[in-house]
Chain A
Amino acid sequence: MGQQILNAIFIGSIYALFAVGYTLVFGVLDILNLAHSAVFTLAAAVAYTLVVNHGQSFWVACALGIVIAALMGLVIEYLCLRPLRRRRAPPIAALISTIGLALIIVAAIEQGRPGTLFSWLWVDGANPVTMPPGTFPNPTWNVAGLTLEGAKLAVIPISIVLMLILGYVMRFTQVGRGLRAVAENPRAARLMGIDVDRMISLTLVISSALGGLAGILFGVALGDISPYIGRDSVEVRGLAVIVLGGMGSIPGAVLGGYVLGAIEVLAVVLLGSNVRAGVAFAALFLMLVLRPQGLFGAQLRERL
């Protein structure tokens, strides 16, 4: 049971870190960025490739993975979102363009085999791989019947510290005030002298960097890196998390991440592992029907 609680906190931290980026973009733009899970996958793949195929050290690989994820944020903005904003397209068009980008990223990783165009990015095709042991420090302890893995344990403080920093930035700095102003009312923010386009780019960079970090942590600590980790593990669960927490609310997304982790682990313990995913989505469905404003009760806005 203790092990299960630990697992819940671990996977909850990943969900929270991923969903914070999701909800940040939704809060500012009212758009679901469906390329977010592809960025999650890409960062993990880049970190793995750098270590295994290009002989970089683990820390360099992680740093570069996050940098590339952040750059993908700019790609999302300049390729998928800004052109549509300029054309005053309906939000659903942005949904499709981010789906297109996610398709490109996942297909590029999937096709990465030796001798193909993308062999510099990935050589294992659709196969799942693990970061080879020994490339990263992973001390393991046995305490009171619990197995404590260093890599998994490290995930928890890393994500908590990052989310605290994000909370501080959003609440107390000039940049954070700008972001919140744009989220509240882009037109009024522009009139107050805020560069709205720049704030949106910044949002996507922060969001994608966090998503990429979540991907690297997930891939390394769980030992599962494949072109499909984003799609299968976090894409829809991320939606569940931001709904649980209330769309656009950052503390809500953090809490929602841990709640979802707890619900899933509880479902596994009580009902067996087969129903795990089903239970999470049943919870999501009920939550939306009964309390659509989320756990934190942010005001429900009528937008599409």
Chain B
Amino acid sequence: MDFLIQLFTDPIAFWSSHTLLISQIGINSILASSLFVVLYSGQLSLAAPGFMAIGAYASVLMDIYWHLPLALAFAAATALAGIVGVVVGLPVLRLRGVFLAIATIGFIEALSLGVILNVPITGEGLGLKNPDADPVSGIYIVLVSTAVIVFLLWRLTKGRLGYAWSAIRQDELAALSQGIDVPRYKLIAFVISAIVAGYAGAAEAHLFFILDPNEYGVPRTVQVLTFAVLGGSGTVLGPVVGALFLTIFPFIFQQAGDYIGVVSGIVLILVIIFRPQGILGRGGFAFVRPRWWPRPPVSAPSTG
């Protein structure tokens, strides 16, 4: 509770004492938005941490070896993530549902365990030092770009592209028969998602003085999936709300102390049971009468 009280009574002190948390919220929101794009087009792709790793390592390496200016390094790293997105997306997008999810998990694990841990230039298991990190001004970059990305994605969902994705999500066959070029729109969604995730990686790398290769594995992807689904993947703001909620969760429930993992697991299950469509999804709470609960009395229709 102290956390919320401080937020409302003394926002300036709150800002300075929680900069790391605020930038984390921004990064997580961007990542959740990256997942939103693929979920919105009906694909359960879990590749975000992989593209994030590409963006992070590429931007830092370009900074160290070529001394590129920050904006250029960000742009180049993000573009690289997009290119890898095309290369990975072309073969993978023939798969659907759980198969796509597992294939993308294979991709991120092969990338983090097979490549990053075994190529000398990435610093292998020790992590990559990033001497030019700037946690102070980095936070502004993160917050501004979060807003810009969310706005752009919202515009996209309201356009031709968004309608096509929506149609594909609801019924791929029907979308195909309406003349929508399904593989093309799926690839576009996958690549946009890769670009956003790559940008999140570059932005996050700018905040920390060391890149930890273990950050880009399956636990991260599970976390991001949880943000997106818990928040509700039907609207742009849903995943952002999910990221916000789950990132500040440990601070709201500070009393839970060491048991925060147990408490957050319980809350996660309760939220998803009563709001299967996500926090911002449509409809009210999903209450279902248990079998042992008495039925409400039904009055017989009067025949008089």
Contacts and interface: CB of A to CB of B under 8 A. Distances in A.
A304 to B, nearest CB: 4
B99 A243 contact: yes
Given A288-B99, A292-B95, A117 B259 contact: yes
A185 B292 CA distance: 28
B276 interface: yes
Interface of A is mostly: helix
Given A231-B219, A235-B218, A278-B118, A89 B276 contact: yes
Nearest to B264: A103
B106 A99 contact: no
Given A235-B218, A285-B103, A289-B103, A96 B229 contact: yes
A100 B265 contact: yes
Interface in A64-84: 79-80, 83-84
A80 B269 contact: yes
Contacts of B266: 100, 104
Interface in A261-304: 274-275, 277-282, 284-285, 288-289, 292, 302-304
A154 B269 CA distance: 38
Contacts of B210: none
Q: Is the interface of B mostly helix, strand, loop or mixed?
A: helix
A84 B262 contact: no
Nearest to A89: B276
A288 B225 contact: no
B107 A285 contact: yes
A277 to B, nearest CB: 4
Contacts of B259: 107, 111, 117
Nearest to A278: B114
A34 B219 CA distance: 12
Interface string A100-129: 111110111011000011000000000000
Interface string B83-126: 00000000110111111011101110110011101100000000
B222 A282 contact: no
A71 to B, nearest CB: 17
Contacts of B98: 26, 30, 32, 247, 303-304
A284 B222 CA distance: 19
A281 B113 contact: yes
B188 to A, nearest CB: 20
Nearest to B219: A231
